[in-house]
Amino acid sequence: MQLDHYVTLGHSGLRVSPMCLGAMTFGEDLGWGSSVEESVRIMDRFIELGGNFIDTANLYTKSHSEKIIGDHLGRHPARRDRLVLATKFSANLYPGDPNGGGSGRKSIISACENSLRRLQTDYIDLYWLHNWDVHTPIEETMAALDALVRSGKVRYVGVSDTPAWKIAQANMLAQFRGWSAFIGLQIEYSLLERTVEQDLVPLALEFGLGITPWSPLKSGALSGKYTRTNAGSQARSRGPFLEPFLNERTYALLDVMADIAGAHDTTVARVALAWVAGRPGVASTIIGARRLEQLEDNLGALGVTLAPGEVARLDALTTPVFGFPGSMQPMFPAIHNGGTTVNGVHAPASGFGLVEGEKPY
């Protein structure tokens, strides 16, 4: 696959590149990240190679990320129109203002207007609910988003970092009201974060939401930079997001990933990205880069196709432990199928069923 081999996002006609450029690192306002000049080089190279999907948020680098994108692309309408610009709302940038964030109508409309101004555009291609606001009825949020779509200021809406049951409620509500529904699901997903496979991934498959994984390298733990041999000697800028995962379980996984990378003459990071890209429901994987070289290296994952046996090795090392009711799922075929095979799934008949000659009461 190449960067210009586009896919439709979920159950929609929106065409996006198989990798999405994450702009959380654009700007140095938080003491880390890419300079304006480096951010521009990264965008230009991504677009040059065929990438058309750029993701940011009003929160990123105190909103500077949006401004960097707008300053560079907003002056060129023809260039901007060829891109799918995605940004997010929910974050409060204004201390002391309770309506400065969240998912209420007042906050959403204000956040949208400010993002349009910073991005120097009159429409947002994909507007994400960044995270669930427990204080706002989902009806209010979906109605406000639909109004933005009808006004032409937003083309599509998506959802990030929200429980599966709430997303299902939102999309069913939108369906029955004739409102715009979520077409994309942005979730953390990697070999070290697979708990999303209990509810969120099945939700995406059932509702036709295109998955766009974030942190596919688990804050760098799967980048290949950290190994058992250099443990403790590498600078770790991501602290609590990284430290808990630099342990023997991760190092054992990295050993297998290094073995697979060697067989493909590639890197550990590319193996991690190729695994995520191959998961059911994944449409476009979000990659972040502080330097142009990191972008080039990550995009190399598009040329890596893992063999079924290699995927099985990685899956076996990272199989998540599900809570209830997912933990009961393996026993259901025996209860449901009566000893037959259904859609390729077979299990012996449950001991609670009738034996030959018995009649039900």
Report, as residue numbers or ranges, the catalytic residues: 60
Joined tokens for residue 351: 């001991």
Task: Spell out the alpha helix ranges (H) of the chain.
Answer: 36-48, 64-73, 77-81, 105-119, 138-151, 164-177, 200-207, 248-264, 268-277, 292-299, 308-318, 332-336
DSSP states of 20-60 as a string?
EEE-TTBSSTTS-SB-HHHHHHHHHHHHHTT--EEE--TTG
7-8 and 182-188 strand pairing: unpaired
Residue 35, by phi and psi: left (phi above 0), alpha (psi -120 to 50) or beta?
beta
CB atoms within 10 A of CB 314: 19
Cα dihedral: 332, 335, 338, 341 (round 10): 0
Peptide bond into 325 cis (omega under 30): yes
